[in-house]
Amino acid sequence: MEFLSVPAFWMFPALFLMVFAGFPVAFALITLAFFFGYDFFGARVGIQFFGRIHDVLTNYAFAAVPLFVFMGAMLERSGIAERLFHAMQLWVGRLPGGLALATLLMCAVFAAATGIVGAVEAVVGMMAAPAMLRQRYAKDLISGTVCAGGSLGTIIPPSLVVVIYATVVEISIGDLFAGIIIPGLLMVVLFVAYVLIRCALDPASGPPADAAINDVPLGEKLRVSATALVPVALLVVAVLGSILAGIASPTEAAGLGAAGAVLLTIAYGNFSWQLLFEVLRRAVVINAMIMLVVIGGTLFTSIFLINGGTRLVNEVLVGTNPEAWQVVVLFLLVIFVLGFVLDWVSVVLICMPIFTPVLRQLGIDPLWFGVMACVVIQTSYLTPPMAPAIFYFRAIAPKEISYGDMFRGVLPFIVCQLIVLGVVAAWPATATYLAGILFRF
């Protein structure tokens, strides 16, 4: 019971107490960091905090965050989403569960274009859920499709989760982008396969689209795709491709994406100064929220480590003498549980500075673990009863859809996510192969 006398031990119970009491996570982190930091540093705590905040605000990699946020906000508000959804419907509408398939594919493309968790679900859900209800889709399938599709913003690059994770762990953002491509594609395939199989076995749960969609001639489909799907796909390829090819840093690529989103909006005739002002305002608000949590998480973790956190973690691990795979399972489980209570930024910033030294000491590939951590964060985002995905969807869902429908709907997709996690755990090459090929020179 010696660990009870270590100040770091009490920081997490205090954090959970403040979060459940209704304090915003960022302010809870900063408050506890100041309280426990003052106990250690005394009046010098302000100087120590200034140094850590300065390190965060001058970190070049974090400059990619506001640019990716701006890119996503511009694509979200410019009407491009409606064009993409229509194009997807034209190609897959005649299949069983066609609207659900279009929703998943739309989420995958939009996730690759925005990288913002939550924004994908909100934008696509407002279009797809009413459309599927009109076609009499099963309510649990509607809920699961929108929530699971929205969660793809975590695992499909350029994900903000990856940018912040790689920055905190001090591994290449490009490597981690490459690492999540195969698991991300596998997850989309499994999601699509589930919808196809379910709707083929039970056509009433997801009937094909009506004749107006099915009878569109091929020439019209190609025209719509050329004007709606191809430009966004080229933007994604330009952003992600420039990073993976080593042509641009993530921050430079994010700037390219932000400029490309503005040009697309102008090309579609949707640009206005009012729209630009709204997008800038939304981008500033989202970025301020993210960076405040980043600062709070950085301060909290620093004070945790200074107050004996490293010794506490080592004593727990030495006392049980676990093998490397058991440590990996334990750390992933901690990330999963924390994901119920905290947002993904806080989870990454609190856990990874503590976990990374232990993982490196055990010789565990940080890229492999990072990919699994992203999958676990995504799974936690979707898992009831504290699933943020469900709370996002509840805010935009039609009243006919209940929480029960949502809880039942996400379960098959959670199974798909666990399958992906198992594949990455069993075959680490699924996470490391592309990075080794792309960056071996």
Instruction: Output the pTM of the full model.
Output: 0.85
Higher-confidence residue of 277 and 389: namely 277
Higher-confidence residue of 317 and 362: namely 362
pLDDT tens-place string over residues 373-423: 999 998 988 888 777 788 778 877 888 888 888 889 999 999 999 999 999
User: Position 191: which residue type?
Assistant: F
Long-range contacts of 174-178 (CB under 8 A, 24+ apart): 174/243, 174/244, 174/246, 174/250, 174/435, 174/438, 174/439, 175/367, 175/435, 175/439, 176/367, 176/370, 176/371, 176/374, 176/435, 177/240, 177/243, 177/244, 177/250, 178/244, 178/434, 178/435, 178/438, 178/439
For all residues of the chain together, what is the average pLDDT?
Answer: 83
* 4 pLDDT more than 60: no
Q: Rounded mean pLDDT of 67-78?
A: 79
Q: Rounded mean pLDDT of 256-261?
A: 87
Higher-confidence residue of 347 and 40: namely 347
Q: Which residue has the tokens 């800038």?
A: 280
Task: Give me the residue spans of the domains in the chain.
Answer: 18-26+62-279+308-438
Q: Rounded mean pLDDT of 415-436?
A: 93
Whether 103 and 128 have beta carbons less than 8 Å apart is answered as yes
